[in-house]
Amino acid sequence: MFNPLRLFRRADHIDEAADAYVEGRATERDLVELRSRAAAGEQGLIEDLDSIRSTVSLLRSIEPASAPRSFALAEAPVQVRIKRSRMAMAPAVFAIAAAAMVGLLAVGNLADVVRQSDSGSDESPASAQAENAAMSSEDSGSDFDPVLPGGQQSGSGPQSGVQTGEGSLASDPPARSAATATVAPASGGSTGDSASSSSGSQGSAMTDMPEPSSPPVGEAVGALPESVDPMPGGGTSTLVEPSDAGAQGGDPGFTFGQEDPKTTDDGSAERDMPAPLPLPTSTNLFDQDAPIASIDTGDFVAEQGDEEAGVPLPIWQLQLGFAIFAVVMAGAWMLLQRRLTA
């Protein structure tokens, strides 16, 4: 079946002959053209044009309507115009605000880039590690990094002990030194493992600790565990309990657990394996005064640096979004202005 719409496929392509025929103003030339096209293959061309022409005739038979009343203005309308002007300005305001945001983001992004380039080398892991290594040397004061909680140096002040029950290391010197001992120094072994608080890890951490060259256990507040033999003569040793040290007249040191020293058959104090150190809390990790911070801080610093860098903000995406929004609002404002002015 012939589709008359095919005659007007493109927006500006008009079949003048068909159009004239439909409107009843076709010339002889138009009629000849249409007949020849119908004969050439456009089946039903004339019939379709006839149907459309009848439709046009039907529409033209409709009488125009008259105004039912007068639309004359009783008084000059003024106030409504102001209200519409305010609304018409809204897209412009949005466009300006969005453009301002684009500018602010650009300025902020540039400032951030400059700041990062200036301060980029100051927070390298190597520099932080060196800094913390210096801190650890200050804290230990000797080659021997004590493993036990009693490994603290004498005279380090009143000891508050390790609150193992609480699962946190006190920030006091004893705890810090013990924690330092627990987590092997940079020259030590498995730092990550030693950070765990299990008894097994405790032992392994102790194993990784270097052989101490400090005074024998008896003089220390605490004693080394079995795995570390400070005594040249060998033999087993266990952790000295703070109360034991106190009985000896020395500082009690900090307490591994709450157990009292037991006396063995031979009269020597039986030193139980220390309770595992609790896991250091994140707060203590980044405590500048805490020895933990001095332990293999390279990783921590790296992580800290990563945290500071964070996920880069999608600045350019925000800028693009605001720019698009500004363009849309500007277009809406112009369209609205055109409508208001007709």
Nearest to 217 by CA among 238, 203, 188, 202: 238
41 interacts with another protein by CB under 8 A: no
* Residue from the set 24, 39, 50, 258 that interacts with another protein by CB under 8 A: 50
Q: Write down the least CB distance from residue 333 to another protein, Å.
A: 16
Written as one letter, the residue type at 35 is R
Number of residues that bind another protein (CB under 8 A): 49
266 interacts with another protein by CB under 8 A: no
86 interacts with another protein by CB under 8 A: no
Per the rule left: phi > 0, alpha: psi between -120 and 50, beta: everything else, 123 is: alpha
* Residue from the set 25, 40, 41, 69 that interacts with another protein by CB under 8 A: 69
Q: Write down the least CB distance from residue 40 to another protein, Å.
A: 18
DSSP letter (8 states) at residue 240: P
308: Cα separation from own chain's centroid? 10
DSSP letter (8 states) at residue 278: P
* Residue from the set 40, 58, 155, 312 that interacts with another protein by CB under 8 A: 58
64 interacts with another protein by CB under 8 A: yes
* Residue from the set 25, 73, 249, 265 that interacts with another protein by CB under 8 A: 73
Nearest to 190 by CA among 210, 178, 205: 205
What is the DSSP pairing of strand 269-270 with strand 262-263? antiparallel
Per the rule left: phi > 0, alpha: psi between -120 and 50, beta: everything else, 185 is: beta
51 interacts with another protein by CB under 8 A: yes
- Interacting residue ranges for another protein, rule: CB under 8 A: 1-2, 4-5, 7-8, 10-14, 19, 22, 44, 47-48, 50-52, 54-73, 75-78, 80-81, 339-342
